[in-house]
Structure 1
Amino acid sequence: MTAARVTLSLVRGRLDTAEYVFEERATCLLGRADDCSPRLPDDEHHRTVSRHHCLLDINPPAARIRDFGSLNGTYVNETRIGRREPGQTPEEASSSMFPEHDLADGDEIRLGDTVFRVGVTTGEQGPRRTLVLVHCTKCGRDLGDADGVEDYVCASCQAEPAAVLRLLLELAKGGRRELAPIAGYELIRELGRGGMGAVHLARHEATDEVVALKVMLPRVAASEQARARFLREVALTRALRHPNIAALHDAGFGGGTFFFTMEYCSGGGLDDRLTKGPLPPDEAVSLIRQVLAGLEHAHAHGVVHRDLSPGNILLRPREDGSTTAKVADFGLAKAFDQAGLSGLTRTGTAAGKPYFLSRRQVVNFRDATPIVDVWAAAACLYRALSGTYPRDFPRGRDPWHVVLQEPAVPIRERGTEVPGDLAMVVDRALREDPGEGYATAREFAEALATTTRS
């Protein structure tokens, strides 16, 4: 089995790199700006190319392209897509959401005088590949055939993850070996759900152990290779043990569904707490410093979260009345995405707004470093203190273009009473230029320790 991949090969133009290869989930920004890759020359042959011209969203073997409202548009097989209207300013164009265009093997993309050819390798086997008839595990619907895939949950059944989870527990009780880690659990109530699945509170009938039982439902039929790749990444997060990281106990796959048993935190998520309003500075700083301690431990073990938000900062009350913050879902969204299991939705309309995403992560998604988690932690603190997000996302404007173009609004401009020294630290942590923010979780935590004491 060869790995699925997408390549961009230079057909015409003058660039230092002739071929760009993508074998995992990535976003790829094209234009004349220094942070683009591929970066086009800033010369007379590319005056029609914008600094941030277009975005490729790649999940091998699928790829999409979206123009950001450039002056002359992006050409796919000499058909222009995404051009802003004559007389429209870049600022006015940025208020528009231009459609995405699916790319196929052999397509050519032209920006100015530079042309790339798209190559797509599906990863399929040769003549000996075996096709298996696939049925929905939940409803039994015939879903056609696929290479090496036997279990899958159809789109209709994915809309009811609780029903899928109850089916898994029944199959586990019936002796399905791959579901043994969740055998004996009963559901108590739903704790939350998102685009990839849901989390329930569950109790073990024999031991009374209470856990958070999470399911993640692949948006595509998961091949054996994709399942193994995802679970290998999950194993790295299972090894993380720290007071400020929610422990991941067991993980596995069965019935077309990935399942996880995790430490239960009775205080819920920070996002739920913030529905009651902003936190006092002392409380907000205390929680985020704990988050940073968890991040520091994970980064030391080579694990970057990439998806930190108040929704995966869990709260566990202590006996003395204080609260422990624990980071959850370390690496799960990233690994699910990179294994090609989430479908091509990270920058599409189904992805939601990137409220807690740094510009670095859009520019260099597949090679995101720990600094993207530091920025996200600062964005969570900003939200906890002010009740809003670091950037404004006007209705109708492409949110990914906002991330690329707009700096964070200084927190005191939000009209909230944040101490001056704390505001300075938060604003610095949200700077995007290299060297201006905080490079590590520890550095940010130490800066917070000099402000409002927790």
Structure 2
Amino acid sequence: MANGVLRPGAVFAGYRIERVLGVGGMGTVYLAAHPRLPRQIALKLLHQNLTSDDYVRSRFELEAEHAARLEHPNVVAVEDRGRDGGQLWIAMRYVAGIDAEKLLSEGPLEPARAVYIITETAEALDYAHELGVLHRDVKPANILLERRGSNRRERVLLADFGIAKALEETTQLTSSGMMVASLPYAAPEAFDNLDPDPRMDVYALGCTLFRLLTGRQPYPGSTLPQLWYGHAQAPIPQPSAVRDGLPVGFDDVILRALAKKPNDRFRSCGELADAAVAALTPVSQLVVPPEPEPQAAPAPEEPTTVEVRTRPVATTPPPSPKERDARLAIASVTTRLSAVQTRAERLEPAFASLKSEFSAQCSADLISNERISSAEIVEAETILTSAVEALDRGDAERALELTRAVRAHLSTAERNVDAVTGRLALLRAVRANPKAKVAEVRFKVHDAQMLALNHGTADQWQAEFDAQLERIDRIAAELSGRHPDYWAYITGLDDVKSHISALVQRMKRERRLR
């Protein structure tokens, strides 16, 4: 190894190096030959300055093991991982092609291609989230596009599951625990080092969509303060204002995906992708108040003995930019209203299923959701009518203002619908595989134990860890009865997670004060 770089022909962990594929913030990736099978793999060697202590090394191996459970056509498979001396490495399936970051060097993508990439990436993320695995580093550089011949569409694969999380305690990260290269795609709550959940990946996927559509990151800057201000404080950007010709429906998609509050975002990456697909609908196919068409002047009559003079008919001037914006905004919210109405139709049967399949108790706090969502939709329809009337009067400014109010009411309606349908989906998923939820929470406790061990405070916190592990066992045992209470099971385990998250924050604060 010369200057820390393996030369072609060198053998590392049994893999024969062929060439360097790339160098990034976390390590160097090599194309290498598998020692026993006739195929190539991508061998990533993590920078040793990122993995200098036993805690980080052990955490990386746990995260890699967690990620290795993922088997999905849109996920780059982890084939092996380990350490050679002090060098951590991970072997992944080799993808012959290009990553989306390199693709952007040629400029922003065509909207249809961008949406296809996002849709395929969303499939990978939602699959991982169902298994309790977060990515935490979604960005164009981690989205690989595999070439599959001229007559086949490129295959989209997401790489590096869990590696960013595994390294979050290293000295090379920001004080909030994030790789600097990931900051342009980081959710506001990530800067506060809050407990991660899938909505962080939803936010990052929204940032990635914005980048693919416009060629720019959502918020300018390269330093931690600049990017914190953008994600946490600055207005959410509109892609149609950055790139001419983009369907304005993408503005609504980004507005929800990049919401400052996690509860205001899409419930899943798949919902974000569905909204992006809907935004591709040409404006001409949407319900838009028609622009008045100029009337043609009548054809002159054949000359007679009486001279006839015709008066020219005035043509209607083209709409102003603000009027055009108002028409497009009305078209966008009209489409969104229709989608929300369709989703709201699923609320009543979902609520009934919650009570029939599980218990009335698991839906007691949602009893007003149907009434609220219905009221919000009616209010949105009323305001939309007023917006159309304002535009007809020539008040484009007022029409735009009213469409913003329509969006706010639709967002509230969506949250109320999602709360019911989302809980039903969660309960069904846990009923199908209850052990996955227990494994996820146990992993969090063990992760905190490793952190305490690394801090040299394991004895101080061991009683807390033991109490929470015993609590997990009690909750799991209660599920084995004739009438299992899945909602109590979920809320109990979530409470354990919250307790451990608070405990980890205390451990970190005390370490800083020492």
Q: TM-score range by the shorter chain?
A: 0.5 to 0.7
What are the within-5 Å matches in structure 2 for residues 55-454 of structure 1? Answer: 160-163=3-6, 169-170=10-11, 172=12, 179=13, 183=14, 185-204=15-34, 207-219=37-49, 222-319=52-149, 320-337=151-168, 340-345=169-174, 351-352=180-181, 354-365=183-194, 367-393=195-221, 398-452=226-280
Give the SS at the match of 2:80. Answer: strand
- The separation in 1 between residues aligned to 2:108 and 2:92, in whole angstroms, is 28
Q: What RMSD in Å do the two structures reach over aligned CA positions?
A: 2.9
Identity %: 31
Q: Post-superposition shift, 1:452?
A: 2.1
**Change beyond 3 A, Cα 1:296–1:395:** closer
- The separation in 2 between residues aligned to 1:432 and 1:200, in whole angstroms, is 38
Q: Which runs of 5+ in 1 are unaligned?
A: 1-137, 139-156, 173-178
Give the SS at the match of 1:354. Answer: helix
Give the SS at the match of 1:250. Answer: strand
**Change beyond 3 A, Cα 1:444–1:348:** closer
Give the SS at the match of 2:185. Answer: coil
Q: Counterpart of 1:162 in structure 2: which amino acid?
A: V
Q: Post-superposition shift, 1:446?
A: 2.3
- The separation in 1 between residues aligned to 2:63 and 2:222, in whole angstroms, is 36
Report if aligned partners of 1:391, 1:407 keep a CA contact under 8 Å in 2.
no
**Change beyond 3 A, Cα 1:189–1:421:** same
Give the SS at the match of 1:443. Answer: helix
Report if aligned partners of 1:315, 1:325 keep a CA contact under 8 Å in 2.
yes
- The separation in 2 between residues aligned to 1:420 and 1:229, in whole angstroms, is 44
Report if aligned partners of 2:142, 2:159 keep a CA contact under 8 Å in 1.
yes
- The separation in 2 between residues aligned to 1:381 and 1:371, in whole angstroms, is 15
Q: Post-superposition shift, 1:210?
A: 1.0
Q: Counterpart of 1:414 in structure 2: which amino acid?
A: V
Does 1 or 2 have the higher relative contact order (CA < 8 Å, sep 6+)? 1
Q: Post-superposition shift, 1:232?
A: 1.3
- The separation in 2 between residues aligned to 1:204 and 1:310, in whole angstroms, is 27
- The separation in 1 between residues aligned to 2:224 and 2:157, in whole angstroms, is 35
- The separation in 1 between residues aligned to 2:211 and 2:281, in whole angstroms, is 19
**Change beyond 3 A, Cα 1:396–1:301:** closer
- 1:107-127, Cα deviation, whole Å (9 max, x unpaired): xxxxxxxxxxxxxxxxxxxxx
Q: Normalized per residue, which structure has more strand?
A: 1
- The separation in 2 between residues aligned to 1:349 and 1:439, in whole angstroms, is 23
- The separation in 2 between residues aligned to 1:443 and 1:420, in whole angstroms, is 18
Report if aligned partners of 1:336, 1:342 keep a CA contact under 8 Å in 2.
no
Q: Normalized per residue, which structure has more helix?
A: 2
Report if aligned partners of 2:139, 2:182 keep a CA contact under 8 Å in 1.
no
**Change beyond 3 A, Cα 1:290–1:221:** closer
Q: Counterpart of 2:121 in structure 1: which amino acid?
A: V
Report if aligned partners of 1:357, 1:372 keep a CA contact under 8 Å in 2.
yes
> Could you tell me the TM-score, scaled by structure 2's length?
0.50
- The separation in 2 between residues aligned to 1:397 and 1:206, in whole angstroms, is 49
Give the SS at the match of 2:245. Answer: coil
Q: Which runs of 5+ in 2 are unaligned?
A: 283-514
Give the SS at the match of 2:45. Answer: strand
Q: Counterpart of 1:305 in structure 2: which amino acid?
A: H
Q: Post-superposition shift, 1:405?
A: 2.0
- The separation in 2 between residues aligned to 1:403 and 1:195, in whole angstroms, is 22
- The separation in 2 between residues aligned to 1:353 and 1:229, in whole angstroms, is 20
Q: Post-superposition shift, 1:383?
A: 0.6
- The separation in 2 between residues aligned to 1:193 and 1:394, in whole angstroms, is 19
Give the SS at the match of 1:325. Answer: strand
Residues 262-271 or 430-439, more deviating? 430-439
- The separation in 2 between residues aligned to 1:310 and 1:304, in whole angstroms, is 17
- The separation in 1 between residues aligned to 2:190 and 2:222, in whole angstroms, is 21
Report if aligned partners of 1:429, 1:438 keep a CA contact under 8 Å in 2.
yes
Residues 420-429 or 233-242, more deviating? 420-429
Aligned residues: 281
Q: Post-superposition shift, 1:166?
A: 7.0
Q: Post-superposition shift, 1:162?
A: 2.1
Report if aligned partners of 1:196, 1:218 keep a CA contact under 8 Å in 2.
no
Q: Post-superposition shift, 1:400?
A: 2.7
Q: Is the radius of gyration larger for structure 1 or structure 2?
A: 2
- The separation in 2 between residues aligned to 1:220 and 1:228, in whole angstroms, is 13
Report if aligned partners of 1:407, 1:432 keep a CA contact under 8 Å in 2.
no
- The separation in 2 between residues aligned to 1:416 and 1:265, in whole angstroms, is 34
Q: Counterpart of 1:190 in structure 2: which amino acid?
A: V
**Change beyond 3 A, Cα 1:285–1:202:** same
Report if aligned partners of 1:161, 1:215 keep a CA contact under 8 Å in 2.
no
**Change beyond 3 A, Cα 1:397–1:344:** closer
Q: Post-superposition shift, 1:330?
A: 0.4
- The separation in 2 between residues aligned to 1:261 and 1:253, in whole angstroms, is 11
Q: Counterpart of 1:253 in structure 2: which amino acid?
A: R
**Change beyond 3 A, Cα 1:295–1:394:** closer
Report if aligned partners of 2:199, 2:265 keep a CA contact under 8 Å in 1.
no
**Change beyond 3 A, Cα 1:225–1:396:** closer
- The separation in 2 between residues aligned to 1:395 and 1:279, in whole angstroms, is 26
Q: Post-superposition shift, 1:411?
A: 1.1
- 1:355-401, Cα deviation, whole Å (9 max, x unpaired): 11111221244x11100101111111111110111112288964333
- The separation in 1 between residues aligned to 2:139 and 2:50, in whole angstroms, is 25
> Could you tell me the TM-score, scaled by structure 1's length?
0.56
- The separation in 2 between residues aligned to 1:262 and 1:214, in whole angstroms, is 8
- The separation in 1 between residues aligned to 2:211 and 2:51, in whole angstroms, is 37
- The separation in 2 between residues aligned to 1:256 and 1:330, in whole angstroms, is 22
